[in-house]
Amino acid sequence: MENQEQQASAADVLTQAIANKLDYLSTLQAAVQHGDDRKVYELLDQARYYQEVKKTRPARSVNHLSELVDNIHPQVSHYLSDNLINYLGHIYPFFYYEEYTTGLFHIYFGNWWDRRLFGDLDVINVQFQFDQNEYQKLKDSFALESQNKRLNTAKIESVSAESEKLQSLVDAQATRDNQKAQLRDQLKENSQRSSLPWDSSKVKDERQGIIDQLTKLADEDEKALNAHKLIKENDDKILVLSKEDTILSYEKQSIRDAFDDFEHFEAHNASLYADYLNSLLGKSEGEVKADD
């Protein structure tokens, strides 16, 4: 008998547990059917919802029921993305999203030529996951503004200086040719000198000096020969750097137009979840009352 009672109560417990899950799922289903995205977000992460939106602790202890939908996150994300991206479009008009596979979104910054892939949009958590490398460049670029510099100003200056040096090497070809002719004459003269024993070391030293100078000039000639190719390569490098600076200047301008400065932009990103859900709360207030 006792065993049967235990059995019965075990069944009750399980039935209740299953009922909780069914209840969770049917609530979620109803929310989706009614287009109540706020409710869906609440169900997906009750702890966060209460903490960040309601600013209270959840009434019940956290039940982990949201794990039930873990394996349909792509569909959930795909569903929620419509309204979220619409909302983001107003606040971050410079971000563009591409759903590269169901429920997963790439973020592109801007619509200018060769705009950057800037990270991913996490729809379920209402969060940007910026590419750290790209984000850092933007941050650095803002920081450099106070010095009136762009991210690549220093690099561009150094590459340009190198090109200038190469160009002056090319320009000095005629001067070098003259020098070489003179040195060769000196060499001839040197070799024709009587090699009296007491003079020989002096003549030898002089000869070596001339040869060293000629070698140095020959080295410069060779560098000058390659200069055009190197200058061309430097031009390409400068183009890549200028392009990146141009892209960053567009990004900065976009952020300033929407948020005034980078700090406000970061603050908005940090409170995005709460801001978005509060905006949904405002929209669905009637429904919320009906639920209560």
- In whole angstroms, the minimum distance from the beta carbon of 249 to another protein comes to 7
- The token duo for 54 is 């309601």
For another protein, the closer CB: 17 or 239: 239
Residue with tokens 């933007």, as numbered in its chain: 138
Sign for the pseudo-dihedral over CA of 138, 141, 143, 146: negative
Residues that bind another protein (CB under 8 A): 111-115, 236, 239-240, 242-243, 246, 249-250
- Are 37 and 80 a contacting pair, CB within 8 Å? yes
- Are 128 and 107 a contacting pair, CB within 8 Å? yes
- In whole angstroms, the minimum distance from the beta carbon of 245 to another protein comes to 8
For another protein, the closer CB: 125 or 249: 249
For another protein, the closer CB: 38 or 116: 116
- In whole angstroms, the minimum distance from the beta carbon of 55 to another protein comes to 42
For another protein, the closer CB: 243 or 264: 243
- Write the DSSP string, 72-87: GHHHHHHHHHHHHHHH
127/138 Cα distance (integer angstroms): 18
Residue 240, number of CB atoms within 10 A of its CB: 12
Close Cβ partners of 283 (under 8 Å, ≥ 6 residues apart): 38
- In whole angstroms, the minimum distance from the beta carbon of 93 to another protein comes to 14
- In whole angstroms, the minimum distance from the beta carbon of 235 to another protein comes to 9
Q: How far is CA 79 from CA 31, 64, 247, in A?
A: 12, 21, 32
For another protein, the closer CB: 112 or 218: 112
For another protein, the closer CB: 39 or 116: 116
How many CA atoms does the CB half-sphere of 186 hold within 13 Å? 18
- In whole angstroms, the minimum distance from the beta carbon of 138 to another protein comes to 17
